[in-house]
Amino acid sequence: MRKIRAVIFDLDGVIVSTDKHHFQAWKRLADSLGIPFGREVNDRLRRVSRMESLEIILENSANQYSLEERRELADRKNAHYRNLLTGLSPANILPGVINVIQALKDRQVKLAIGSSSKNARAILRAVGLEDEFDAIIDGNDIPRSKPDPAVFTIAARRLGVSPQECLVVEDADAGVEAGAAAGMTVLAVGAAAGHPRAARSAENLAGISADELLMAESVSS
């Protein structure tokens, strides 16, 4: 069995639920452009990058937008989103997170965030968790989004551990694939639970103890 010395958490959907904030920000942008946007389109945006999300929304637009215009639209959405993030508080931390973080720290396990979001630090600050991690790797640090493994391999390097010593916690299929491609053990939660490349699955972090987490046998490499 591998010895896990570090746990790398995805952020959105694992530590904090930001779905509602993304939805409201995209809705405000779509409404201002007269583009129909509802839950059905929103379901396709979950865990998709900002520019890819915009492309999906623009499928329902009668207008064509240049790359420069699309960048400006993505910036507008992000400004709405950042505004909504000011309403985040520790109450938005998902079940089990605080206990697992504390239990892992008690066991001298290193902790990192590996997120595709460029807003990761602002989110962690808003919920009061910014100082809990030994490394925070986010969308500003990585050349390509998940399923590319870069976010996780950079995190391992920053923590000074080998990929084989890392456990990744993910709620998205692309994130599970990124963790497995990095040669790490993966715990899949939420929507990704049951993914074949995950060593273990749980509904959320309340459904697994720190000891069970550290014993997750790797099937992912």
Point out which residues bind ligand BG6 (CB under 6 A): 11-12, 22, 46-50, 53, 78, 115-119, 139
User: Which is nearer to ligand BG6, 48 or 58 (by Cβ)?
Assistant: 48
Angle at 72 (CA atoms; ends 50, 57), nearest 5 degrees? 45
- The residue number whose beta carbon is nearest to Mg ion equals 13
Residue in 6, 101, 120, 171 binding Mg ion, rule: CB under 5 A: 171
Paired tokens of 160:
């000074």
Residue in 111, 172, 202, 210 binding Mg ion, rule: CB under 5 A: 172
Cβ 113 vs Cβ 156: under 8 Å? no
- Does the annotation mark 12 as catalytic? yes
- Does the annotation mark 148 as catalytic? no
Taking the complex as a whole, the smallest distance from the CB of residue 217 to ligand BG6 amounts, in Å, to: 27
Paired tokens of 183:
């040669």
Beta bridge partners of 147: none
Interacting partner of 116 out of Mg ion, ligand BG6, none (Cβ under 5 to 8 A depending on kind): ligand BG6
Strands 6-9 and 166-170: parallel
Residue in 5, 6, 10, 220 binding Mg ion, rule: CB under 5 A: 10
**Please, which residues have CB within 8 angstroms of residue 110's CB and are 6 or more apart in sequence?**
5, 6, 7, 134, 135, 159, 160, 161
Q: Which residues bind Mg ion (CB under 5 A)?
A: 10, 12-13, 171-172
Q: Give the active site residues.
A: 10, 12
